[in-house]
Amino acid sequence: MTTPITRLHSLVLAAVMAFAASGVASAQRTVGWVELEGALAHKPSPLAWLAGPNVKPTMRDVIDGLRRIERSAEVDAIVLRLREPKLTMAQVEELGAAITRVRNAGKPVHVFTEIYGPGELLLGTYADEIVMQAGGAVTLPGIYMEEMFLADTLAWAGMKADFVQVGDYKGANEALVNSAPSKAWEENISGLLDSMYATMRQRLREGRRMSDAALDTAMQAAWYANGADAIRVGLIDREMDRLDLDIHLANLYGADHQHATDLIRPSGAGKAVNMNNPFAILEMLSAPQRRTLNRDTIAVVHIDGAIMDGESSPGGFMGGETVGSLTIRKALLEIERDPNVKGVVVRIDSPGGSAIASESIWLGVRRVAEIKPVWVSVGGMAASGGYYIAVAGDKVYVNPSSIVGSIGVVGGKITLGGLYDKLRVNVVPRARGPRASLMSTSSVWSDSEREFVRQRMTQTYDLFVQRVRSGRSEIDIGRVAEGRLFTGHDAVALRMADEIGTTDDAIRALASSLGLRDGAYDVADFPGPKSLDEFFEDLMKRFGGFGAQAQAEGGSLLAREFGAALREMVGPRAWPALQDTINATMQMRDEPVLLVSPRALIFR
């Protein structure tokens, strides 16, 4: 039986090697094993306390574990054992930075798995040795994406997308209003792909010490390569059976190995509970889950998923987490009032969403920044509303593959008049008020209505630009606005961000700037844990309640079934990006103006 996400344990290999000339015996050698399995969450589950001490470790738990190995006098080397990890490029880069520190401490790092896809291979480039299971495979096809343009499809069905966007490069409406990409969008998305591909190649060249020509040859062979071919072109170092790996390590570090204790310390773990004692269980479930910070703390505020008004939700239209402005404002207020919180890192991985919610969170972040330093760490994406929030921070860290920008606004509707005609549905509109019919589903906007919508959207765009300029005073807005997208290094060069670095880098640099020594402060995740009452309230919202309410919202069940089918089609790696973007775009039902990135960017 394997652990659900990640575990870290130590394999001890002891050997006493006699040296005939000197008679000196070597010290005992220890090899730590780090196992990565499945997806790595960036923060503890809101109900992690229910799992007791067996809670799943987070990404930061693994980074902290590697940091302890780096500094430990007891561990001499590590094996990174990959069990089908589902890592984003940002996570590969953050884990890679931690692996590099371990190697710089003089401790070799070995990576082992059965199948090396692009993510596993890129992670392996940070190690000293890449080892593959005998009979495995290596796949490195490059970057591939597909876009669907649906204007002709909608026209065939009698529907029309009626959208307005501010920012020529925004692209959020392209798939619905065009039959092919516009010149601006082609320039934007092609430039982004070029940058991401260059970043991937640079990592491969540096990590595997390859020339451009050698990398071209390797990628030709590694569309699907066996072990011998992958070794020949320099992508991996060895191929062996898992049972022979122990022998390989024994040859390097000494024989006579054994397992040691776990080194990861899950940050969201609760107390152990005697499950045979019903009173103990009831006591745990009824206790309010409100933590108290007891010493100097760096708070990490998580903005993960589509940005919406109201409370955060464990699942939106397509499932997946959504970020509610009210939930984040409550967390920021808690941080503002707690004297033990000395600084804040806002961790953002979001395609944007509601313009109103983004502004509300921006105001909350700036309010905290008036009294405490607030830095920002970008994961895979801080686009549109996500970047709106990012510029509220005093300093912004990005990963090389982070996508930032999309400074633009989009809004509109899809009219169904032609579809009604095809279906012989007679829709009789009745409106009272000068703008009552603006969001009619049966007719497109008139010229005057379109101009009215554009004026309102331009006001939102101007406020967005104002927020960017106020937070990034050195930025040349003419080079970065109107919906343009950039990856990490370009973002730093354009003053959209300050440094290439991980969340761990941001936390530790902020602590150092505050005079906090390593080990003398805590790191706390916000929003904090939820009580069972709050959890069940979320479930009621997600599933539409029961009885008449559930029947009224029965479409949500259909959406979840469709979402499940779509997830199976695109795969578990691509699904998080797609669901976040769909959730953000679906807010068009309730809010006519959105700050959302241009659809999901799925790279294969």
pLDDT-derived band of residue 314, with 50, 70 and 90 as boundaries?
A: low
Backbone angles phi, psi at 161, to 5 degrees: -85, 120
CB-based contact 7:262 (threshold 8 Å) = yes
pLDDT at residue 556 tops 60:
no
Mean pLDDT of the residues in the chain: 80
Question: In this structure, are residues 462 and 197 in contact, taking their beta carbons and an 8 Å threshold?
Answer: no
Give long-range contacts, CB 8 A cutoff, 24+ apart: 24-30.
26/254, 28/254, 29/76, 29/77, 29/253, 29/254, 30/74, 30/75, 30/76, 30/77, 30/260
Q: What domains, with CATH codes, occur in the chain? A: 6-141+222-262 (3.90.226.10), 144-206+295-531+579-604 (3.90.226.10)
Q: What is the mean pLDDT of residues 377-381?
A: 94
pLDDT of residue 545: 41
pLDDT surpasses 50 at 261: no
End-to-end CA distance of the chain: give it in Å, rounded.
30
**pLDDT of the residue at 28:** 66
Kindly state the tokens that stand for 578. 């797609």
Rg (CA), the chain: 26
3-state secondary structure of 112: strand
What pLDDT, in 10s, does the model give residues 46-71? 555 454 555 677 888 899 999 999 99
Calpha distance 39→86 (Å, rounded) = 5
Q: Kindly give, in sequence order, each residue whose CB lies less than 8 Å from that of residue 370, ignoring residues fewer than 6 positions away.
A: none
Give whole-number Cα distances, 133 to 123, 224, 237, 240, 259, in Å.
16, 15, 11, 5, 21
HEC letters along 183-237: HHHHHHHHHHHHHHHHHHHHHHHHHHCCCHHHHHHHHHHCCCECHHHHHHCCCCC
If pLDDT is split at 50, 70 and 90, which confidence band does 131 have? very high
Q: Which residues pair with 377 in a beta bridge?
A: 347, 397
Query: How many other CB atoms are found less than 10 A from the CB of residue 269?
Result: 18
Cβ atoms 16, 25 nearer than 8 A: yes
Residue type, 228: A
Q: Which is nearest to 83 in space by CA: 36, 142, 19, 15? A: 36
User: In whole angstroms, how far apart are CA 436 and each of 303, 427, 432, 439, 440?
Assistant: 35, 16, 6, 8, 8
Q: Is the dihedral of CA 340, 343, 349, 350 positive or negative?
A: positive
* Amino acid identity, position 94: E
- Count other C-beta atoms under 10 Å from residue 68's C-beta: 15
Residue 493 makes CB contacts below 8 A (sequence gap 6+) with none
Where do we find the tokens 């799992």?
51
Query: What is the CB-side half-sphere exposure of residue 595 using CA atoms within 13 A?
Result: 35
Helix (H, G, I), strand (E, B) or coil at 444: coil
Higher pLDDT, 286 or 205: 205
- pLDDT band per the 50, 70, 90 thresholds, residue 109: very high
- State the CB neighbour count (10 A cutoff) for residue 143: 14
Question: For residue 291, is pLDDT > 90?
Answer: no
Q: 482 pLDDT band (50/70/90 cuts)?
A: very high
* Band of residue 339 on the pLDDT scale cut at 50, 70, 90: very high
Residue of 559, 398, 577, 361 lying closest to 488 (CA atoms): 398
pLDDT band at 462 (very low <50, low <70, confident <90, very high): very high
> Quick one: tokens of 531?
């009580």
Handedness of CA 383, 384, 388, 389 (dihedral sign): negative
Closest by CA to 398, choosing from 482, 327, 494, is 494
Residues 132, 110 contacting (CB under 8 angstroms)? no
Do the beta carbons of residue 121 and residue 140 sit within 8 Å? yes
Residue 563 has pLDDT above 80, yes or no: no
Across 409-491, the runs of DSSP E, i.e. the strands, are 409-415, 485-487
Query: What does the pLDDT look like over 141-158, one tens digit per residue?
Result: 888 877 888 889 889 989
The CA-CA-CA angle for residues 157, 160, 165, to 5°, reads 150
Mean pLDDT value of segment 191-200: 92
Q: What is the C-alpha separation between 115 and 143, in angstroms, rounded?
A: 18
Q: What is the pLDDT of residues 75-93, one digit of tens each?
A: 889 999 998 888 889 999 9
Please state, in angstroms and rounded to a whole number, the distance separating the CA atoms of residues 75 and 10: 8
Omega before 527 within 30 of 0, i.e. cis: yes
Of 109, 132, 117, nearest to 244 (Cα)? Answer: 132
Q: Is 167 exposed, middle or buried (0-12, 13-18, 19+ CB in 10 A)?
A: buried
Strand locations in 402-545, DSSP E?
403-405, 409-415, 485-487, 499-500, 522-526
In this prediction, residues 208-223 reach a mean pLDDT of 93
**Given its phi and psi angles, is residue 433 left (phi above 0), alpha (psi -120 to 50 degrees) or beta?**
left
Six token digits for residue 426: 């007679």
pLDDT at 602 over 70: no
Reference 46, options 304, 325, 279; nearest CA is 304
| DSSP-assigned beta bridge partners for residue 398 | 378, 500
Predicted pLDDT of residue 215: 95
Mean per-residue pLDDT for 24-39? 74
What are the backbone angles phi and psi of residue 205, rounded to the nearest 5°? -65, -45
Tell me which of 574 and 25 has the higher pLDDT: 574
- The mean per-residue pLDDT over the stretch 429-455 comes to 84
In three state form, how does the secondary structure of 276-288 look?
CCHHHHHHHHHCC
For the cut 90, the answer to whether the pLDDT of residue 368 exceeds it is: yes
Mean pLDDT of 235-244: 94
Q: Which two tokens stand for residue 429?
A: 């509109």
Query: Predicted confidence band at 267 (pLDDT cuts at 50, 70, 90)?
Result: low
Burial class from Cβ neighbours inside 10 Å (0-12, 13-18, 19+) for residue 43 reads buried
